[in-house]
Amino acid sequence: MKKLAVILTILCILLVAIYFLIFKPEKYVEKDLYDTILERGVIKVGINTDSKPFGFFDKNWEIKGYDADLARYIAQYLLKSPNAVEFYPVTPANRMLKVSTGEVDIVIATMTITPQRREVIDFSVPYDAAGQALLVRSSSKIKSIADLDKQNVGVVFGTTAEKNMLNLAPEANIIGFRNYRTAYQALKNGKIDALTSDDTILSRFVYEDKSVKLLPKRYTKEPYGIALKKGASTRRLKENIDFAIKDMQRKNVILRIRRKWLNGAY
């Protein structure tokens, strides 16, 4: 009797294994994301919405900016229409999760390519680059990162700046914010003495408000990439996006987007 049970169990396992080998049930083979996007006819793009001039709501509540323009060009390459895009707001703290769970197909959000992030998600080739900088009040005595000991320094949760500060200024009091708007308010009302992030992102505050200044030194290199889910299902999508970025770079399209948005006139 016992023998029979053992034989039956082995037989069952064998049958299941053969079933998986021959039929490869759909849900165990992840579908190619590029095919899904082509079938759907629209690409879901995660984008920052409080990060002028990269991703923000204009007065008609439409998402505009450098990253939005880039998304429309990518849609033109992949789907032959700049309007084949659906934008989904993301934050620096949740965008890795949103792209790896498939809630969005890609993230275009001033996202720095780093080796740590590469362990979890994939990136396109870089399309631009920034450097970490310090924004302070115009009257501030802070001149560089060396003056930050015991000072309150604001970072946005989930950014590279948040991580880098542990090495760059270990004696500073780091205060995290959910977004740039609240971090900036804190700088204005004295709750923090400096705000640190990419120069490209912080510059906008200087254009809008002369009571703050951006210090000249840059502390890191932040190459921006389009984020994708890691794995075989996004390989073709990545190849096509990389091709699009390189082609746009060759044709100076990215340069034009950069000039349009990073000159302070928006």
Q: Which of 86, 120, 91 is nearest to 105 (CA)?
A: 86
Token digits of residue 253: 């399209």
Which one, 78 or 113, has the nearer CB to ligand GLU?
113
Alpha-carbon distance 78 to 193, whole Å?
45
Report the residue from 49, 100, 110, 124 that binds ligand GLU according to the rule CB under 6 A.
110
Instruction: Tell me: does residue 135 bind ligand GLU (CB under 6 A).
Output: no
User: What amino acid occupies position 193?
Assistant: D
Find the shortest distance in angstroms from Cβ 246 to ligand GLU: 21
Alpha-carbon distance 262 to 66, whole Å?
8
Site residue total, ligand GLU (CB under 6 A): 14
Instruction: Tell me: does residue 124 bind ligand GLU (CB under 6 A).
Output: no
Token digits of residue 52: 């002028």
Instruction: Tell me: does residue 201 bind ligand GLU (CB under 6 A).
Output: yes
Q: Could you tell me the sign of the dihedral formed by the alpha carbons of 226, 250, 265, 214, in that order?
A: positive
Which one, 78 or 192, has the nearer CB to ligand GLU?
192
Strands 85-89, 43-47: parallel, antiparallel or unpaired by DSSP? parallel
Instruction: Tell me: does residue 154 bind ligand GLU (CB under 6 A).
Output: no
Find the shortest distance in angstroms from Cβ 195 to ligand GLU: 11
The piece of 65-73, 104-112, 119-127, 257-265 that touches ligand GLU (CB under 6 A) is 104-112
Find the shortest distance in angstroms from Cβ 222 to ligand GLU: 5
How far does Cα 107 stand from its chain's mean position? 5
Alpha-carbon distance 39 to 37, whole Å?
5
- Length reported for the chain: 266
Instruction: Tell me: does residue 195 bind ligand GLU (CB under 6 A).
Output: no
Binding site for ligand GLU (CB under 6 A): 48, 51, 92, 109-112, 156, 159-160, 197-198, 201, 222
